[in-house]
């Protein structure tokens, strides 16, 4: 069953695959290794990469010798993943409806996808359905509230006085973006041996590239809202953004942005 949030997500990501691949995927790629480690993915593992995006996790799983299938809700993302990972079995599917039989996989991995579904509990139960008994689940999400790399554009918009539109929904996952709540959500879906670990790192990037590939490219809800604004408002937000970025300046004209995520894992 799709929700209003699911319908919004389809609009949000339509046509954004290439921009995401050039920018934000370089940030989220940092968690691919820990994610697959938590799912115990190695040579010969039959693994599902759910919400594959441009295929970052699938590419690493293939490198490890795993047997990989992947899904994404956005056709453009699925096409990008197929291009980035030659031979990948990638399909278009929207959680909580997966085109796979019961108990088909030894591992399921989802990199920053659970925060993009309208019904997180139903999504988790579907992921459990396609896992074999004893199979491993691993999921990442952003720690809430967003800070550093995740929250700078929103911080700039708030300071510049850009109101959040009433018709842009907040992710239903917001209440689960901390360790105890995330773990309980996974446990309530029927998983055992549940754990949640923090993942913290720094993303070094050119601040102009981060602005161009994210905010101006309409990637994510912040970019979606910013794209609705008049040029003068966008300029005002950019001025605040530039000032905020000075806090994170490092050598070479780049910035080092802190990123904070959570990695949850469990056994079917």
Distance CA 111, CA 124 (A): 13
Question: How does pLDDT run across 60-115, given as a tens digit for each residue?
Answer: 999 999 999 999 999 999 999 999 999 999 999 999 999 999 999 999 999 999 99
Residue 148, H or E segment:
none
- pLDDT for 148 equals 74
Q: Decide if pLDDT at 3 tops 90.
A: no
Burial 130-156 (b: 16+ CB within 10 A, else e): bbeeebbbbbbbbbbebbbbbbbbbbb
- Mean pLDDT of the region 206-235: 91
Q: Find out whether 250 and 204 touch, Cβ atoms under 8 Å.
A: yes
Q: What is the mean pLDDT of the chain?
A: 94
Cβ-based neighbours of 99, under 8 Å, separated by 6 or more: 71, 91, 93
Residue 72, H or E segment:
strand 67-72
Question: How does pLDDT run across 228-243, given as a tens digit for each residue?
Answer: 999 999 999 999 999 9
Question: How does pLDDT run across 33-45, given as a tens digit for each residue?
Answer: 999 999 999 999 9
Q: Find out whether 248 and 255 touch, Cβ atoms under 8 Å.
A: yes
Q: For residue 178, which phi and psi values (nearest 5 degrees)?
A: -140, 160
The domain locations on the chain are: 4-146+169-203+260-267
Distance CA 129, CA 78 (A): 22
Instruction: With CA atoms as reference, report the closest residue to 32 among 6, 53, 18.
Output: 53
Look up the CATH number of domain 4-146+169-203+260-267.
3.40.50.150
pTM: 0.94
Cβ-based neighbours of 160, under 8 Å, separated by 6 or more: 233, 236, 237, 239, 240
> What SS3 class is residue 264?
strand
Question: How does pLDDT run across 123-139, given as a tens digit for each residue?
Answer: 999 999 999 999 999 99
């Amino acid at each position: 069953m799709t929700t209003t949030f699911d319908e919004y997500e389809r609009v949000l990501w339509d046509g954004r695959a290439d921009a995401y691949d050039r920018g934000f995927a370089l940030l989220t790629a940092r968690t691919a290794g820990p994610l697959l480690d938590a799912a115990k993915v190695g040579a010969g593992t039959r693994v599902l990469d759910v919400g594959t995006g441009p295929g970052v996790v699938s590419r690493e799983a293939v490198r490890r010798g795993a047997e990989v299938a992947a899904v994404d809700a956005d056709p453009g993302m699925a096409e990008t993943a197929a291009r980035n990972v030659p031979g990948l079995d990638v399909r278009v599917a929207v959680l909580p409806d997966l085109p796979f039989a019961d108990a088909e996989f030894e591992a399921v991995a989802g990199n920053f996808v659970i925060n993009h579904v309208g019904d997180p509990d139903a999504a988790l139960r579907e992921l459990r359905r396609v896992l074999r008994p004893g199979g491993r689940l691993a999921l990442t999400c952003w720690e809430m509230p967003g800070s550093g790399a995740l929250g700078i554009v929103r911080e700039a918009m708030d300071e510049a006085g850009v109101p959040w539109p009433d018709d842009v929904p907040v992710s239903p996952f917001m209440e689960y973006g901390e360790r105890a709540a995330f773990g309980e959500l996974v446990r309530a879906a029927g998983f055992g041996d549940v754990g949640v670990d923090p993942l913290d790192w720094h993303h070094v990037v050119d601040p102009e590239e981060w602005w161009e590939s994210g905010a101006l490219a309409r990637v994510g809800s912040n970019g979606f809202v910013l794209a609705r604004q008049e040029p003068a408002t966008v300029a005002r937000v950019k001025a605040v953004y530039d000032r905020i970025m000075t806090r994170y300046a490092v050598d070479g004209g780049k910035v080092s942005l802190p990123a904070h995520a959570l990695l949850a894992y469990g056994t079917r």
